[in-house]
Structure 1
């Protein structure tokens, strides 16, 4: 365990930052009956890169400490929410800076950094950002939301093609709060079981080439057991039209979801769709399977390099370089306090001889509840497949990702 968690050599900096944020936000609670809550997360990661993997050392380590402060206020017709996130990250054994979240859907960054150090084989940063800042007004049948907010659409378990403003990956460990985007949304509820949402998202103010985005999303019941979703809009200049249908049959939940993209920056179009099913066994095991198909991805190893530079990949809307992925998962409560889950992703690609080559990703998670407000997580990840070539280009979907382990402690207050 000690190998996985860094003993926090910069603990003083994190403690100072935490105290500063509390001092900033606490006086705001005196303005109204707002509630101040928070979450602290401490994470340690170790990876063992081999030849062809990302990473320049035989072992890479990382530690991360984050604080999220949430200020919320509610009344009969209005509510507002403000989330301030602070984060310290340290990577050892990496020669490049850690990737940052896509900013295509944020008018202003509302972020800054206290520290950014990049020695030859490590990287340390101490940053803050306002991740949520939204005001909502409600009437009997409508809700108007203005500001930085999370938009969550789609019905898929592993992937959601209708989640056109970004979605979690199947292997993401932090899914408590989705990244907020700057938007104006209007929700109308024509009945108790249907909603229609219109969203407008301006492009970044500091990018003259960026384009505004807009979409309309409908979700409602069909009969007693089926749910239909429809979406139309324009995102980053790309016209799109999608739909999803979800229901159950003989105890098996099933769903199909897809969206058609007509790309603006190239004469190309394609469909991104998923089909999946899940089943709960009598012993408590939940089994889920989902098939991913994206016409905009590559079906060959040679085509992966071109796909990596597309706008949809950079925006986080297109999850993978390849065209097809199969996802399987099993999860179960092992004890009242311990939950386990296993995920397997398989991606096929054609090599230069038109032969199928497969890469896989396997993830095992164990989550233990230390108390009502505290959770300890252990995650193990391993992959197989072709790694990076001599020019450091990917040759498979997962083969370049090194084996790794994560330990995370999280507490809410």
Structure 2
């Protein structure tokens, strides 16, 4: 029998102890009365990259395997509500090498690098493998008649965007994200207060650490939002401080032609550069029936004030503030003008098809996605999808060039995926 090296055995024991410690935090919760719930997700991706993609994977064709387990517990005690989510996720792919390159210093594999608390433990962190466990939700909510507050690791979303949501600065989804069931949790304090006239005042405080590991006001966020319920148009007024920016925003929502329209307008003052940046998103969403089937659709326009006005910029020529927001996951596009269309069709009660197309209106490139969802049972479903990027050489979705001295590009892959989900 082949012996197991002492060093590898020691590492395996340490990983098992860490896994058992974090997992054991959820076990006593079962005794409090509420059962554990959760899910298992397993997915496979097949990706095709340009020959000169940067950072270059080992092959033009790559595979990505992903498994995700989430255990959820929640319960109420008088006016308090408690919520704990344990997550175990693993990824295996040659493309992980590319994610290890950072423009601004953020480590994509240190998930709690800027969080107030480190509730994540990396079990495997190798060139093509990454396995971690974490407490993705750990919060308590106090509810009174006209106010509530929540403290701990939680998720929050501001903004009314469909695929683009420039007002959501708190772990936003990428426009081509196919699974939007859970946003990664953030350590924060959030609260809501019901006003006498029926309006709602809410706020959020998000303390963060800088890249040196110190709690830093200039890395943290503070925001206030007033939600006004109007007779025909609802409005939200927002004032916040997000890292090095002061943000003022207005959101408006109304009904039109049996649908809903949304408009978000954001003005941000950068204290480092001492300049104002303006962004906005507008969309219309509606539904209709055709051939005894139900359809929903959305049309959206997005103006990215941080983006480059050049139609085919080089990566190294882009503004450092834009690259910082891109690298930290606050922004996902490099130019200014975009449009997108989404359509979902209920083919049968168990089978849905959805598609989206994102258009860069400056350089003519586009990103197409087609997704299918089939319910296998009350507890399981199968998802599949296809992503296709098109555009001329040097455009954003087909691949912008790194510099004028190199033919290397940063591109979106052509991609197929299949995911199985089981809920318990």
> What TM-score does the superposition give when structure 1 sets the normalisation length?
0.85
Alpha-carbon offset, residue 381 of structure 1:
0.2
For structure 1, which runs of at least 5 residues remain unmatched after alignment? 1-11, 350-356
Q: Distance in 1 between matches of 2:301 and 2:400?
A: 26
Relative to structure 1, is the Cα distance of residues 395 and 162 closer, same or farther in structure 2, using a 3 angstrom cutoff? Answer: farther
Correspondence list, 1:251-266, <5 A:
251-266=258-273
Structure 1 residue 389 corresponds to structure 2 residue 401: yes
Correspondence list, 1:284-295, <5 A:
284-295=294-305
Q: Distance in 1 between matches of 2:262 and 2:162?
A: 9
Q: Distance in 2 between matches of 1:39 and 1:52?
A: 38
Equivalent residue number for residue 126 of structure 1: 131
8 Å CA contact retained: 1:102, 1:314: no
Q: Distance in 2 between matches of 1:101 and 1:264?
A: 27
User: Runs of 4 or more off by more than 6 Å in structure 1?
Assistant: 16-19, 392-396
Alpha-carbon offset, residue 49 of structure 1:
1.2
Relative to structure 1, is the Cα distance of residues 23 and 240 closer, same or farther in structure 2, using a 3 angstrom cutoff? Answer: closer
Q: Distance in 2 between matches of 1:304 and 1:59?
A: 24
Equivalent residue number for residue 243 of structure 1: 250
Moved more, 67-76 or 241-250: 67-76
Q: Distance in 1 between matches of 2:219 and 2:50?
A: 41
Correspondence list, 1:308-387, <5 A:
310-349=323-362, 357-385=363-391, 386=394, 387=399
Alpha-carbon offset, residue 176 of structure 1:
1.2
User: What secondary structure is seen at the aligned counterpart in 2 of 1:281?
Assistant: strand
User: What secondary structure is seen at the aligned counterpart in 2 of 1:312?
Assistant: helix
> What TM-score does the superposition give when structure 2 sets the normalisation length?
0.83
Equivalent residue number for residue 25 of structure 1: 26
Q: Distance in 1 between matches of 2:154 and 2:287?
A: 33
Equivalent residue number for residue 107 of structure 1: 116
Equivalent residue number for residue 61 of structure 2: 59
Alpha-carbon offset, residue 372 of structure 1:
1.3
Equivalent residue number for residue 415 of structure 2: 404
Equivalent residue number for residue 72 of structure 1: 74
Q: Distance in 2 between matches of 1:327 and 1:60?
A: 28
Equivalent residue number for residue 147 of structure 1: 152
Per-residue CA deviation, residues 126-157 of structure 1 (Å, 9 max, x unaligned), is 11111111111111001011111111122222
Alpha-carbon offset, residue 293 of structure 1:
0.1
Q: Distance in 2 between matches of 1:77 and 1:341?
A: 41
Equivalent residue number for residue 104 of structure 2: none
Equivalent residue number for residue 184 of structure 2: 179
Q: Distance in 1 between matches of 2:220 and 2:68?
A: 31
8 Å CA contact retained: 2:367, 2:390: yes
- Which residue, out of 224, 227, 230, partners 1:222? 230
Equivalent residue number for residue 232 of structure 1: 239
Q: Distance in 1 between matches of 2:315 and 2:403?
A: 13
Q: Distance in 1 between matches of 2:354 and 2:319?
A: 31
8 Å CA contact retained: 2:188, 2:207: yes
Relative to structure 1, is the Cα distance of residues 106 and 22 closer, same or farther in structure 2, using a 3 angstrom cutoff? Answer: closer
Per-residue CA deviation, residues 205-249 of structure 1 (Å, 9 max, x unaligned), is 7236553320001223111x4221111010102101001111111
Q: Distance in 1 between matches of 2:253 and 2:110?
A: 30
Equivalent residue number for residue 174 of structure 2: 169
Alpha-carbon offset, residue 43 of structure 1:
0.7
For structure 2, which runs of at least 5 residues remain unmatched after alignment? 1-11, 101-107
- Which residue, out of 189, 194, 202, partners 1:189? 194
Moved more, 171-180 or 190-199: 190-199
Per-residue CA deviation, residues 4-29 of structure 1 (Å, 9 max, x unaligned), is xxxxxxxx99xx89995765522332
8 Å CA contact retained: 1:290, 1:328: yes
Relative to structure 1, is the Cα distance of residues 214 and 346 closer, same or farther in structure 2, using a 3 angstrom cutoff? Answer: same
8 Å CA contact retained: 2:314, 2:402: no
Relative to structure 1, is the Cα distance of residues 235 and 380 closer, same or farther in structure 2, using a 3 angstrom cutoff? Answer: same
- Which residue, out of 191, 198, 203, partners 2:203? 198
Alpha-carbon offset, residue 197 of structure 1:
0.8
RMSD of aligned Cα (Å): 2.9
Equivalent residue number for residue 8 of structure 1: none
Moved more, 246-255 or 81-90: 246-255
